[in-house]
Amino acid sequence: MKKWLSVGCVLILMMSGCTNDEKEQGSAKENDTEDVSVTEEGGEEDTTVAPPVISSARGKKIGYHNPIISHHFGADPYVISHDGRVYMYMTYDQLEYDGAGNIKENSYGSIQQLAVISSADLVNWQDHGVIDAAGPMGAAKWATQSWAPAVAKKTINGQDQFFIYFANNASGIGVLTSDSPTGPFIDPIGEPLVSFETPGVEGVTWLFDPAVLVDEDQSAYLYFGGGIPEDTFEMPNTARVIQLEEDMTSVTGEATMIPAPFMFESAGINKYQGTYYYSYSTNFYDGERPEGSPGAGEIAYMTSDSPMGPFEYQHPILKNPGHFFDVGGNNHQVIFDFNDQWYIAYHAQTLAKDMEAVVGYRSPHINALMFNEEGAIEEVTANYEGVAQLQAFDPYQTVPAETFAWQAQIETTPSDEATTGVYVDAIESGDWLAVSDVDFYDGATLVKARVKPLASEKMELRSGSVDGDVVGELTFDGSLNEWVDLEATVNIPKGVTDLYFIFYSEADTDVLMFDTWSFHQ
């Protein structure tokens, strides 16, 4: 049986540009199961079997770049750049079901993993699987949940080190470390880094939603907090900042209050042209607000000439997701720069809306962010279009199959069997995935793929759309039931095109696992 977001069964790579109409429509035509023709002699019918129905895209239309992934959820995004790529870390929202099998409201109580994806172009994203952060199977076994990660990179003793700060529900902040952005991560202290015993946190309702800054002098600071004590909506005074020790796994001194108007949650911190920008999400107070106050569930920011403050309130920069997508909920942001451009990542229930399950399951989005000449952040317009692709995709490398821009009904599965630790799984007939703006600057005459066939079928190569021209195919022997390296001739001219992989089979079960692909002359 197909899972809620699974993958198809015959593999097709397609390569010739979609028309604008096709991209806006998102999915391919739904074909009838049979074609019936009438003969000239007397109306006798000749019935032939038509190709399988192509699965519809879910949550993300072809040609659009938000939400940035749609094969699983991801909330509270946080971003770092490393080695020419952006790495995004997220709360790993997963569907919860009641006893009758119906999707129920997200309780957040069972979340013990963090999701990780990365991209060099902000459109095609590789799924790196999950980090087991909390619980009996997690790095921090003392923690019961892992929410809202913040991530920093710092060079210590000549070695790049990566630090994840996460919320154990709203009761404290933990820290994990690794020498790789994708792990494995360990808990270096075995207890919360920040708790209600930490000096300076008195009056904070929720110890969660961290943000972290490593300054030019290598000093580091942790921002956190939220909540509304005793209905103090206008000035809750629950935001805090505390300095980190050089090791990044201990704190020094006391936490300092950041008086943020209508503060609710979601700390963010950036430095631009010598000024420190503290951003946060406002609360949902529905009474009258003083003139100049931020609205409900918006992202606003403050500035300071010191990482510890005092901070001066400025203005809102991102309205609640409901303003843009007709589906509301809480707001959460991270502002980041990549290749000398600034962006804001945030979450919204757009995938859940498409699934008719708007009960707290969030998905990550990215839009451009601008500073004006005076250094003020301009208001951001969130949308489905997202950001432009920063560079064309190189097909002359071994590409993890879990790298794509669009998909219909696919899943990814962490496994030691996979080359990168994750493969595309749960493949059923008619499902597909696609890579945006692939640059065949030398053309291609050969395709290679590493797959694990579970049934006999084929991989077709197509150009530009789900019903583009077939330019090659690979066939699978399902009796093998083991990982194999296949190759086939192709005839792909020079040029940039979207590349589609579509899966077909007569089997009604999962028939393929897909690990890597590459093109050659």
**Three-class secondary structure assignment of 252-286:** EEEEEEECCCCEEEEEEEEEECCEEEEEEEECCCC
Distance CA 248, CA 340 (A): 26
Residue type at 405 in one-letter notation: A
- Contact of 426 with 6, CB cutoff 8 Å: yes
Q: How many CA atoms lie within 13 A of 444 on its CB side?
A: 29
**First and final C-alpha spacing in the chain:** 39
Residue among 246, 232, 93 nearest 163 (CA): 246
190 φ/ψ angles, rounded to the nearest 5 degrees: 70, 20
Which one of the listed residues 22, 187, 209, 265 is annotated catalytic?
A: 265
209 and 226 Cβ atoms separated by less than 8 Å: yes
Q: How far is CA 365 from CA 73, 385, 468, in A?
A: 11, 10, 29
Residues 308, 50: Cα–Cα separation, whole Å: 66
Question: How is residue 398 written in tokens?
Answer: 């071994």
Closest CA to 103 of 4, 185, 31, 29: 4
Backbone torsions φ then ψ of 388, nearest 5 degrees:
-75, 150
Q: Is 265 a catalytic residue?
A: yes
Cis peptide before 400 (omega within 30 of 0): no
Three-class SS state of 276: strand
CA 25 – CA 16 distance, rounded (Å): 17
Q: What are 225's two structure tokens?
A: 């907090």
Residue 235: CB atoms within 10 Å: 12
Spot the catalytic one: 22, 76, 510, 515.
Answer: 76
CB 394 within 8 A of CB 402: no
113-119 and 103-104 beta bridge pairing: unpaired
- The pairing of beta strand 11-13 with beta strand 457-463: parallel
Secondary structure of residue 517 in the 3-state scheme: strand
Which residues are identified as catalytic?
A: 76, 265
